[in-house]
Structure 1
């Protein structure tokens, strides 16, 4: 599958989100981290910001819900115009129902797994998802160091996805930069969330081009 780069606005200037979205015209998605201070120890943004951002940019929004009640809230993010809505397996009590509701509302449905959560128990859910997100840091804060321990799981996830037809996008999120993006691509990822590596750069658009090129070389 083609490499996709999804810059995380968690690393952007929240006071200038429309401008920050415009600064990455070559991005495939804008990654929106929604945290509620319950599932993770941080509080970021929610539906009102997503609704406003949807009006301010043509880029599809990739909403990653790190919240305690994703089954309740996920459909509302799809209704707000998100192009993709991802819920955590550790938080969802009815993942099949929730994933189907997201799809029924016209968004892509994603399932996220924390670093210590094994991928094999969720093999039977691959038919219900459009994207599988493997966290490569502990969720909750940007700017963390990449966890190499996730790479073997990423390779196993690629094997499972390919076994079931290869239609599921395989996303990584956390500590992705010009060096770790290559290792993730080699292990099988095709969608890359990058926060500090993009918005911490002097030229965010150029940073995206560099990440894409590195991932394409490694995954070729």
Structure 2
């Protein structure tokens, strides 16, 4: 896997031509797609469900798609996404009655899993599940809406999580979601993140390739 991964959040895409717009961002250089599922219950917004995900597969999108579930309760909808082809499921610990059982459910379906932490969520949720997750997704905005500003204190949390991952010896990706732009991505990478969920900073621009190239150029400085 690349040292740094750009994951484009389709929450900011053009819904009227979703398949075409996603294909465009992938051609421009995005590595994967971030699929935000919101239920107007756990978070104050309503987005899309399994059938929209299936439509992307049917359209011919073959790049990895991370399913980020902001839904409560969580377990039943996991199966709904699995049966239409989901391979990677991320959920929030507050949405599960038993986090270990939910993670085991995802694994039993043959998928990789991630745990998402809101800005105010305690890291204590990670203590007994580090061996069961592939990704920690740290929210750098309060979940529910696109286009928010990056919360500055997130940088300290990224450093803390990177140390926690390194100390655990497990191969866990550290993914950041919210308010990531060209002018702050290098500081986020330097703090220890390796996957960056980017929505409006790409989809709200006319030239996707220019933005993604600029982001990758910034990240290249971190690699040298």
| 2:24 aligned partner | 23
- 2:19 matches 1:35: no
- 2:49 matches 1:46: yes
| 1:82 aligned partner | 86
Residues 5, 29 of structure 1: 8 Å contact kept: yes
Equivalent position SS for 1:2: coil
**Structure 2, gaps ≥5 residues long:** none
TM-score (norm 2): 0.93
Q: How far apart are 1:157 and its partner, in Å?
A: 0.6
| 2:214 aligned partner | 210
Equivalent position SS for 2:215: helix
- Higher deviation after alignment, 62-71 or 207-216: 207-216
- Higher deviation after alignment, 192-201 or 73-82: 73-82
**C-alpha distance in 2 between matches for 1:94 and 1:68:** 13
| 1:128 aligned partner | 132
Q: How far apart are 1:170 and its partner, in Å?
A: 0.5
What is the RMSD computed on CA atoms of the aligned residues?
1.5
- Higher deviation after alignment, 203-212 or 141-150: 203-212
- 2:10 matches 1:9: yes
Aligned ranges 1:168-179 → 2 under 5 Å: 168-179=172-183
Residues 90, 113 of structure 1: 8 Å contact kept: no
**C-alpha distance in 2 between matches for 1:137 and 1:200:** 18
| 1:160 aligned partner | 164
**C-alpha distance in 1 between matches for 2:13 and 2:37:** 14
Equivalent position SS for 1:127: coil
- Higher deviation after alignment, 129-138 or 207-216: 207-216
Q: Following superposition, which runs of at least 4 residues in structure 1 exceed 4 angstroms of deviation?
A: none
Aligned length: 220
Residues 131, 170 of structure 2: 8 Å contact kept: no
